[in-house]
Every structure is written in C-alpha cells, then in structure tokens.
Amino acid sequence: MGKSQSIQSYVPQQIQSLYETGKHHHDAFEYKQALYYYKRAVDEIKSISKPCNNIIQFQFDLYLKICDIYTWDFKLTEASDLSQKLYQLAKKLQQSIRMAQYLDIQGDINRLQYKLDQALTNYNKSLEIKLKLLENNEPEITRSYDRVGHIYALEGKYNSALCMFKKALELKLALHDGNDYHADIANSYCMLAKIYNRQGRYDEALTICDKSLQIRLSIYGNNHPQIADSYTNLGTIYDNHNKYDDAICMYERSLKIHLSITCGNHFDIAELFNIIGKVYRKQGKYDDALSMHHKSLKIQLSVFSGNHIHLSYTYDNIGLVYSGQGKYNDALSMHQKSLQIKLSIFHRHHYDVAISYYNIADVYFNQGKHHAAIVMHKRSLKIRLSTLDHNNTEIAISYSGIAKVYKYQGNYDEALSMYEKSLKIMLLVYGYNHIEVSSVYTNIGCIYCILGEYDKALPIYEKSLKIKLSILDTNDLEVAGLYNNIANIYDRQSNYDKALSMYNKSLEIRLLLLDSNHHDIAISYNNIGIIYRNQGEYSKALSMHQKSLEITLSLLGNNHVDVATFYDNIGIIYQCQAKYSEAISMYEKSLELKLLAFDDSHISVAASYYNLGNVYLEQIEYDKALDMYHKSLEIMLPTYGHGHIEVANVYSKIGLVYTRQDKYEESLSMLQKSLKIRLAVFGQHHTLVADSYNCIGVTYRRHGKYSQALVMFEKSLQIKLLLLDHNHKEIAQLYNNIGVIYNQQGHYDQAVAMYQKSIKIKLSVYGNNHADVATTYDNIGNVYRNQGLYNEAICKYQKSLDIKLSIFGYNNTKVYQSYNLIGNIYFLQGKADQSIIAYEKSLEIALSLFDHDHLAVAKNYHNIGLAYSYQGKYDQALSMYEKALEIKLSVVGHYHDSIAVSCINMGSIYHNIGKYNEALSMLRKALRIKLSLLNGNHISAEITALYNNIGSLYRLQGKHDSALFLFNKSLKMISSIMDYDHSGVAASYYNIGVVYFDLNKLDQSLDMYKKSLRIKLSRLGYNHFDISYEYNAIAVIYKHQGKYEEALGMLKKSIKIQLSALGQNNTVVTLSYSYTNMGEIYKDQEKYDKALCMHLNSFNIRLSIPNSNHNDVEQSYQQVVSMYSIQSKYYHTLSINQKANKIFASGYEEAHPSIAISQSPMSNSVDQSHPNDSFSTLK
C-alpha cells in the first residue's frame, strides 16, 4: 500500500526507517527479516501515548504488510487476529477506503481457509465501497475485480471469472490510455490465460500468455521474476496439453532466471522444482521426479519454520511419486505427513484437508483396501461439498474417484451413477468440448465395456475421441490412450485386425512423443501381445510381452510390483502353449513380487493364486488347482464380499474342477453360486451370464444329461448372439459345444453342421493355423469316428496334429492328445500295431511333461492295454491296466470315475480269458463306484452300459434270466434319459436279442435285432461299420430258420459295409467271421467251391492278424480242411496241413481278443455283445 508524503511526514524517522528496512526485505521475499522490522516499528508506534490519525493510518498500513506475510506463511490464526485489529483501526479512522482494505485482507484469509462464500462476500463489499468512493479507473477497483475473479476460478465458475478479469483488463487499458504495454496489463493477460488453460482452450491460453510475455520482456528485459513467471505460465499450459518436453523447457527457462537473480534457497526456486517434478512423474521418470521434489523440500525446510503448508504440498507430491513406483506404504506415510501439517494449520473441513483424504484414498485403492478407500473418498467429498459450490469440478473429481473404487468392487451401477454425476458437473462447467468431459466419457465407456455392452461403450469412446481430437493434436498421448480403449472393445468383439490397428496407432504416437523406454510404450507392447495371443500367434505375443518386460525392468528394477503384471502375461502365453512349468515359473515370480509389495491378503495376490489354479487345472492337478482357487477366494471374500464378480469367477473355476472330478452336486452348487452373482451384477444379458450357462451345460453333458446340457448351451448362445458379432470366437465355441451334445446323442449330421459353423467362424477370426481350429478338426474327427468313417476321422485328426505341431512343437499336451485320438482310430480299424505306435508316442510326451504318476500317463497305459487286449496279449494288457490303476489310486483315491474305468478294463480281460466270476467282481466294483458318484441319482448312460456288460457276463455263465433282467433294466433306464432312437437304446435291444437267441426264441430275437437295426440306420446311415453287427446277427437267425438267401443277403450287406469302412486290405477279425458265416451257409447249400472260397478268405485274414488267437486260426483251418475233404482234394488238405503245422509250431497265445465288453479307447461306454452261435460271430 502506498502512503502519501503528508502521512509519512508526521511519522517519526526511526519508525519510518524500520518500516523501509522491513519493506526492503519484504520485496526480496525475506519474510522473517521483514516481519522482524515491521514488528519493531509497531512496538515503536505503541510506545506513542497519543498517536494522531496519521500515525494510526501508518499503523494500519504496517498491519496490512504484516498480514500479507502471515497469509503467505499460512499463519491464518495470527492473520485473523491482526485482521480484527485492522477492523478496529478502520472504524476508529472512519475511512471507508480503510474498511475496504480490511475487507480485502479478510477476504484473503477466507480464501486461504477455503471459505469461498465468505471471501466472495468480503471482496464484493470492498468492491462496492471502492466503486462509491473512487473513479472507475482507479487501480484499487481493478484489484478488486481480480480478487473476485480469483474466487470464481477457485469455485470452477470460469465464465464468471473471465468476466471479472476482463472487466479489470478493460479498466486497466482505460487507465493507461489503451496502451497495453504495461505491467498491470500483462498481469491481466496472465490471469485470462490461466482461465483459458483450465477451460481447455489451449491455443487461446498460449496466445494471450505469449502476449503477456512480450509486454513483460519490453518492460523488464530478459532476466526478471516477471519473465520467469510468464515462462512458468507457458509451461503450465504445455503441461495440461500433455506437451511435457515443451513444459519442461519453459519451466527450466523460468528456473534459470530465478537462479540468476536470487540465492539458491529461494521459495520460488523450490516451487519450480516441485512443478518440474510433477511433469517428470507424469512422464514416468520417477527417479527424476523424486530428485526434484527432494530439492524443493530441502529449500522449503530451510526457508519455512515449523509446519508450513508448502511443505505439505511437497510431501503430497513425493507421495504421488511413491504411488507411481508402487511403494504404497511410503506414499501413505507422505500423504499422512501432509495431512498432519494441514490439520495443524486449518480446520478439519478445509479444502486442502479434502485433497489429502483424496490422495490417501488413492493409495488405499492401489493397496486393494477398497473399503478404506471409499471411506477416505467420502470424507474428501463431504468437505468439498461443504466448502465448494455443488457444481465445482473438484466435486466431480471426487465422484469419479469413488466411481473408480466401485468399479473395482464390481458395483457397476453405483460406479456408473457416480461417473454420470461427475459428467453432469463437468458439462455444466466446461461445456461439451473439454478434455475433462472427454475423460469422464472414457470412464463411462469402460463401465459399459466391463458390462459387455460394447454397442454402448464404443460410441462413448468415439465421442471422447472426437473431443480430444478437437482440442489436442492428433499425435497426443491422450489420443493414444483412447485408441487403446477402442482397441480393447474390438479385441473383446474378436475384431483382432481392427484392435491391432488401434493399438499400433497408439504405439506410433507414444514412440513419437516418449522415450522408447517409457512405461506407456511397455503398455502398448503388452496390449499388442494380447492380440497376438488371442490370434494364436504365440511367438509374436511372447516377443511383445518380453519387450514390455524389458522396458519395465529397466525403469522400475527387478522388485517393483508393476513387473508382476508382465510376468503374469508371459505366464498366460506359456499356458496357452501348454508349457506349464514355464507358466508356473512366471506366475510364481509375479506372486513373489506381489507378496514383497503387499501383505498376503492383497487382492493382486488372490489373482496370482487364481492364475496358478488355472495352470494346475489344465495339468489335471485338481487338488492343487482347488487349493489355489480356495486361497484366492479366502482373500477375495473379505475384500470384495460375497456378491463380487471376481468371487463369481472363482466359484466358476471351482465348479469346473468339480466337474472334471465328476463331483456332480458340488460342481452344480458352485456354478449356480457363480450364476446367481453374475445375474445380480449384470442382469440376464451379459457374456459372463452366458458363460455360466455354458459351464453348467458342460457339467450336465459330462454327467450324461444331454437334454439339459443342450438347453444351457442354447441359452448361452442366445445371449451371445444378442450381444456379440455373429462371427465372434465365443459364438464359435458354443456351436462347438452344441455339436458335442449332438455327437453324444448320436445326431451326427446335426453335430457336423454345428462344428462346420464353428470352424467357419474360427477360420475367419484366426486363420488356418490356430489351436482352436485344431480342436474343431478333432471334434469333427470324433463324429466321423462315431459314424464309422475312420479314414475321414484320421484325415481330420492329422490336420489337427499338423497345426498343433507347427504351433507347439512335439513335447506338448495338445500333441499328446492328438496321438491318442489317432491311436484310437487305428484301434477301431483293427490296426493294433499302428495304434500302439501312436499311443507310445503319446506316452513318451506325457512322461516328458508330467510326473510318472500323472493321470495323463495313466490314460496312455490304459489305451496301450486296450491294444494289447485286442491282440490277445492279455498278460501285457493286464500289466498296462494295473499300471494305470496304480497311478489313478495314488492321484484320485478309490472312489473316482477313472477307477471304475480301470475296473471295467480289467473285467474285460477276465472275460476274454473266460474268468467270468473275476470279470463280474470287477464290473460290480465299477458299478458301486459309479453309483456312489451319482449321489442317489442312479440313472445315467454309464450305469446302463454297466448293466449291459454285467448282463453279458450272466449270459455267458448261462444265467439267462439274470441277464434278461439287467438288459431290460438298462433299456428302461436309457429310454428314460435318451431319445427313443439313441444308440444306447439300440445296444439294449441288441443284447436282449442275444439272450433270446441263446434261449432259441428266434422270432423274439429277430424282433430285437430289427429294432436295434432301425435305430442305427436312422442314426448312422446305411454304411456305418456298426450296422454290420446287426446284419451278421440277423443272418444267424435266418440261417437257423433255414432262410439261406435272406441270410446271405444280410451277410453280403455286412461284408460290403466292412470293406467300405475299413478298406479291401482289412485284417479285422469281424470280417473273417462274416466270411466264415457265409461259407457255412454255402456249405449247407452244398455250394462247396463258394464255401471253400469264403473259408479261405477267413483263414487268410486270421493268419494276417498279428498274434492271432490259436483257437480261431485252428477253427478256420479245420473249416478249410473240411471243404477240401468234402471235395476229395486231399493234396490241398496235405498242403494246408503242413502250412498250419508250421504256423502252430511258431506259437500262439491260448486266448484271442473278444471285445464283447472291452472298453473302447478314451470312452466310458461299453461295446455291445453279439450272438454266440455255431457260426463264428463277433463277441
């Protein structure tokens, strides 16, 4: 405040000298010294017994100066006390202008206390007084307009602030006769630039800020604090515009000036170090940022005494850097230090206290302490609502902060509500075209994306992008961020080409603007890696994730928690490649870092356990998988509560493990829990709800409840067709699952149609060389196998194997599975040697990948056992089955479905060597296990198959009534759960026909065989290998009834089908039986040449079968000899005798494969039995 010469002339020289010395220090920002001299001057005045008005006015001016220092030092209590003295002096002087000055200082105190309404009231009262007393062009009036504008700016009322600053500018221009080259004019331009900057009007802000700079340069030259101030303002605009390098350049210019004109320990230098530190933090240069903030802190500690507010701001800045580094405990310590300072200076409801609560909330959020974060955010919001206008942008920021926590808690409706509140304020304050509005749109888009409402999310992202592009450069980092968000939508929609294009656009911008070693570059590489992973291009994906990891390690070091994310992503790639050991190694590295950074109850630790569970699940390590999922759940439930979507995801995984373990009730319970949560969170129409229906469908399917499974899959498909593009990979997966059901129901044409739909989508999404494409080829192969189209099945399996080998290499579980499938087909074709080669390849892979007591190894022993059994090598077969059983018992215990399978296999061996009691014991054990697993629900396709097999053994023991009882029981059961034309129904009819044949009830037997034949023809068509059994059986009946032509017709059909299915060079024993049967009919018809031809065909087939049954070969030999004898061809008899003796001398095992009840490879069903007549028939 200036004083007239007349006032000073009445002030004693000593007091004036003290005042001038104080003012000198004041102008040099040496506030301690200034305060010392001002207070000495005040003491001198107080010593005057009767001061005159001039002395009182001088005292008033001194108090104003002291108040200025108190407010600068945030000693608001002292400032308030002194303000009351100013009020008393103003009243005593009875000068309105002094009252206006008091009101200004009181308004300043209110402003610093963030009592903005009171500040505005005082400023407006002061302005009103000045307008009455002074001319319009008085500098005091312009200062009042500036003060009012400042309050409007703090309230976020930027248009009102602009109005005030423009009024002040207009008066200043008038005061200086329109000449804008004046310091006051430059100051007004600075204020206007700050408002434009906050409104996102960066070009206008830069223009007017530069104007201010040019004025100041013309007045002060290059090296003045005001020039430094202009550079700082320009830096702030560049900073908000995300032009960080330009911002740093401006700040460093400002710093250079301050360093050249002041001592190194000046407050303004400390402030600049803080500002530069903030930019480094935004750039991810955390070490540089910390260095700047610590420099600032060192100066402030030397300048300020005690708990100064600016120290608290620096502690906040350091806390934000620690958060960026993942050092959350250190961050919390800094923010709490800051809070303590603020509470010591202000009341608990001060705006700055709200900022500390907000910062602490953000740390709690990052620590996964979501409830604590909400509490802090709400405290912050409550203060802001009490101190700010309800349409202030700071309140919008609080709403957004709360929304972020709700989003991670899975409270999506609440999150959306908060973001919409925030958006409403932002639109009101900034209008549509502002960067903050764009940011809120982006956040809302994220919620819709999580909810699976991509049609809503994408337009919102595009709206946000449009705003950013209208304000920012096309190559701006915020634009790059939005390209990422849009890419994420395309990724979820399986539009991988579009997603990749967006991620690459984002990466190009970041590479242009950032150092190649920047964290955001690492994020871009990571995102591109995810797309490559989804496309099945695992090598490219791994390369991207490793690039990402290298950058992060170079920035943050080996022990930073953010590194864990990249280990996780690499782990997922290894998991997709079925490289489980490598995947586990990555997940464990990630877990180690998380446990280092957080306590063991942090939500990110739960995520690691979840990932490990997924690997163990794929490794068939079910107990380990369950242990991991339960660990994950134990952390999630206290953090999220029981209704969170992540909890639902874990329930779903636990349900899937129980499904694989055949724990049907437990599985359904978990899956229903998961579904209930997902429905509560998302409603009916969400992809995760569809996933729940799909998982429940898988459980029903595995349990043989095919109709219920189909309902679930169709429900899931209906939702996904509604939400996703019809060419989406998840639609393809559902077509695949429906195809599996049709295949298991025997609806083979419908199954193939579904698989073709699935593969058409997969080929369009992934191209030819993808693991999911291979899986569908396998499934189509399975249908062809069930249709008896073995060559076509082999073709599909081989296609699948070629893809897997090209993607995964040889030693991989998926390749192991392919060799098993191919081995199965060779087995069904009777090519036992080739099947053993395939199974042994599969076993070799399994032993290299898993422990020797792994279920995958047991499966191979089981399949090799089947092949040995077929070859009649029963001791070797039994040895394989026992190896398989030993492994299974060690892994799953006694009461498990796979144990039942082993019992069935061993029972088949005992059956084949005629040990029927031992066979019955094994099958009964299998039945007990199966029934115990069904928890009282004793109706299933597997139980009916076992009844059939036990019935077959009773039949072989001559217990026909018992056999007939079980076959009818099986028929009734299978008819209640399957369609009337299911293959299981046909099998029961067939077996009943066999018993009737044994009892010589030929008409009833024929009726059963024909029923079975009708079902198979409707299901399998006329050329399926299985049809040949019925034709053979019916031929037997006709032969016994003397209907030779009808019998021959049936056998010719049977032979034609077998040759068509298995090829002309077929060596399967079933074909030899058909030739033998035909030979016997020709013999009865006395057509001996034809009979001989048929028997020779049968004899040659049996001889060509490796390790063929001695008895079968001998029987065939006797039939050939009989034909030669009837025709008196003794030379031929002698010749074949010699040949036979040679063969018999080489040695045969005593028993031959009889597959009446042997289990087919990788199947839980049991082959049907066939009539045992004087004809040689398939057993």
Q: Considering the chain, what percentage of its residues have pLDDT values greater than 90?
A: 50
All residues at 6 or more sequence positions from 715 whose CB lies less than 8 Å from its CB, including other chains = 690, 693
Q: Is 543 exposed, middle or buried (0-12, 13-18, 19+ CB in 10 A)?
A: middle
- Has residue 1106 got a pLDDT over 70? no
Q: What is the pLDDT of residue 1158?
A: 28
- Has residue 639 got a pLDDT over 50? yes
Q: How far apart are CA 687 and CA 111, in angstroms?
A: 51
Q: Which tokens hold the place of 558?
A: 């080996």
Q: How far apart are CA 483 and CA 475, in angstroms?
A: 11
Q: Which tokens hold the place of 636?
A: 């999630």
State pLDDT tens for residues 987-1018. Answer: 899 999 999 999 999 999 999 999 999 998 88
State pLDDT tens for residues 573-601. Answer: 999 888 889 999 999 999 999 998 888 88
Q: How far apart are CA 996 and CA 433, in angstroms?
A: 87
> Among 499-508, 621-630, 731-740, 976-985, whose mean pLDDT is lowest?
976-985
In the three-class reduction of DSSP (H, G, I as helix; E, B as strand; rest coil), residue 1166 is classed as: strand
pTM of the model: 0.66
Q: What is the pLDDT of residue 591?
A: 95
- The residue written with tokens 């000593």 in the block is 14
- In 102-140, which positions are buried (b, 16+ CB within 10 angstroms) versus exposed (e)? bbbbbbbbbbbbbbbeebbbbbbbbbebbeeeeeeeeeb
- Has residue 1143 got a pLDDT over 70? no
Q: How far apart are CA 893 and CA 663, in angstroms?
A: 13
Measured CA to CA in angstroms, residue 521 lies from 480, 486, 671 at distances of 11, 17, 39
Say if residues 733 and 744 touch (Cβ distance below 8 Å).
no
- Has residue 52 got a pLDDT over 90? no
Beta bridge partners, 1159, equal: 1166
- In 151-173, which positions are buried (b, 16+ CB within 10 angstroms) versus exposed (e)? bbbbbbbbebbbebbbbbbebbb
Q: What is the pLDDT of residue 576?
A: 87
- In 564-576, which positions are buried (b, 16+ CB within 10 angstroms) versus exposed (e)? bbbbbbbbbbbbb
Mean pLDDT of 1104-1127: 74
- Has residue 4 got a pLDDT over 50? no
Q: How far apart are CA 693 and CA 690, in angstroms?
A: 5
Q: Which tokens hold the place of 69?
A: 């220092």
Say if residues 241 and 472 touch (Cβ distance below 8 Å).
yes
State pLDDT tens for residues 885-929. Answer: 999 898 888 888 888 889 998 998 988 888 989 989 999 998 888
- What is the three-state SS of 204-235? HHHHHHHHHHHHHHHHHCCCCHHHHHHHHHHH
Say if residues 107 and 126 touch (Cβ distance below 8 Å).
yes
Q: How far apart are CA 1141 and CA 634, in angstroms?
A: 73
What number of other Cβ atoms are within 10 A of residue 372's Cβ? 16
Confidence of residue 454 (pLDDT cuts 50, 70, 90): confident
Q: Which tokens hold the place of 495?
A: 């539009």
Q: What's the count of helices (H) and strands (E) in the chain, helices before strands?
A: 55, 0
- Mean pLDDT, the chain, rounded, equals 87
- Has residue 384 got a pLDDT over 60? yes
Say if residues 472 and 463 touch (Cβ distance below 8 Å).
no
Confidence of residue 550 (pLDDT cuts 50, 70, 90): very high
- The residue written with tokens 């032009």 in the block is 243
State pLDDT tens for residues 1055-1094. Answer: 998 888 766 555 567 788 888 989 999 988 889 889 889 9
- Has residue 241 got a pLDDT over 50? yes
Q: How far apart are CA 1177 and CA 1159, in angstroms?
A: 19
What number of other Cβ atoms are within 10 A of residue 88's Cβ? 12
Radius of gyration of the chain (CA): 44
Phi-psi region of 1057 (alpha: psi -120 to 50; beta: other; left: phi over 0): alpha
What does the angle CA 855 – CA 782 – CA 830 come to, to the nearest 5 degrees?
Answer: 80
Q: Considering the chain, what percentage of its residues have pLDDT values greater than 70?
A: 93
Q: What is the pLDDT of residue 597?
A: 82
What number of other Cβ atoms are within 10 A of residue 708's Cβ? 17
State pLDDT tens for residues 807-855. Answer: 888 888 889 999 999 999 999 888 889 999 999 999 999 998 888 888 8
State pLDDT tens for residues 307-347. Answer: 788 899 999 999 999 998 888 899 999 999 999 999 988 88
- Has residue 1107 got a pLDDT over 80? no
What number of other Cβ atoms are within 10 A of residue 98's Cβ? 23
Q: How far apart are CA 1121 and CA 270, in angstroms?
A: 114
Q: How far apart are CA 556 and CA 605, in angstroms?
A: 20
Q: How far apart are CA 268 and CA 30, in angstroms?
A: 12
Q: How far apart are CA 123 and CA 949, in angstroms?
A: 99
Question: Nearest Cα to 742, choosing from 719, 710, 702?
Answer: 710
Higher pLDDT, 977 or 160: 160
State pLDDT tens for residues 411-444. Answer: 888 999 999 999 999 999 888 888 889 999 999 9
Q: What is the pLDDT of residue 369?
A: 86
Confidence of residue 499 (pLDDT cuts 50, 70, 90): very high
Q: Which tokens hold the place of 424?
A: 């409403």
**What sign for the dihedral angle of Cα 388, 393, 396, 401?**
negative
What does the angle CA 761 – CA 764 – CA 767 come to, to the nearest 5 degrees?
Answer: 120
Q: How far apart are CA 1171 and CA 215, in angstroms?
A: 111
Say if residues 930 and 944 touch (Cβ distance below 8 Å).
no
- In 265-303, which positions are buried (b, 16+ CB within 10 angstroms) versus exposed (e)? ebbbbbbbbbbbbbbbbbbbbbebbbbbbebbbebbeeb
Q: How far apart are CA 436 and CA 261, in angstroms?
A: 38
Farthest-apart Cα atoms in the chain, separation: 163
Measured CA to CA in angstroms, residue 424 lies from 169, 419, 421 at distances of 32, 9, 5
What number of other Cβ atoms are within 10 A of residue 42's Cβ? 20
- Has residue 89 got a pLDDT over 70? yes
Phi-psi region of 788 (alpha: psi -120 to 50; beta: other; left: phi over 0): left
DSSP class of residue 768?
S
What number of other Cβ atoms are within 10 A of residue 264's Cβ? 12
Q: How far apart are CA 537 and CA 803, in angstroms?
A: 12
Q: What is the pLDDT of residue 1156?
A: 25
Confidence of residue 1104 (pLDDT cuts 50, 70, 90): confident
- Has residue 47 got a pLDDT over 90? no
Q: How far apart are CA 528 and CA 549, in angstroms?
A: 13
> Among 126-130, 468-472, 1113-1117, whose mean pLDDT is lowest?
1113-1117
What number of other Cβ atoms are within 10 A of residue 798's Cβ? 16
217 alpha-carbon distance from chain centroid: 56
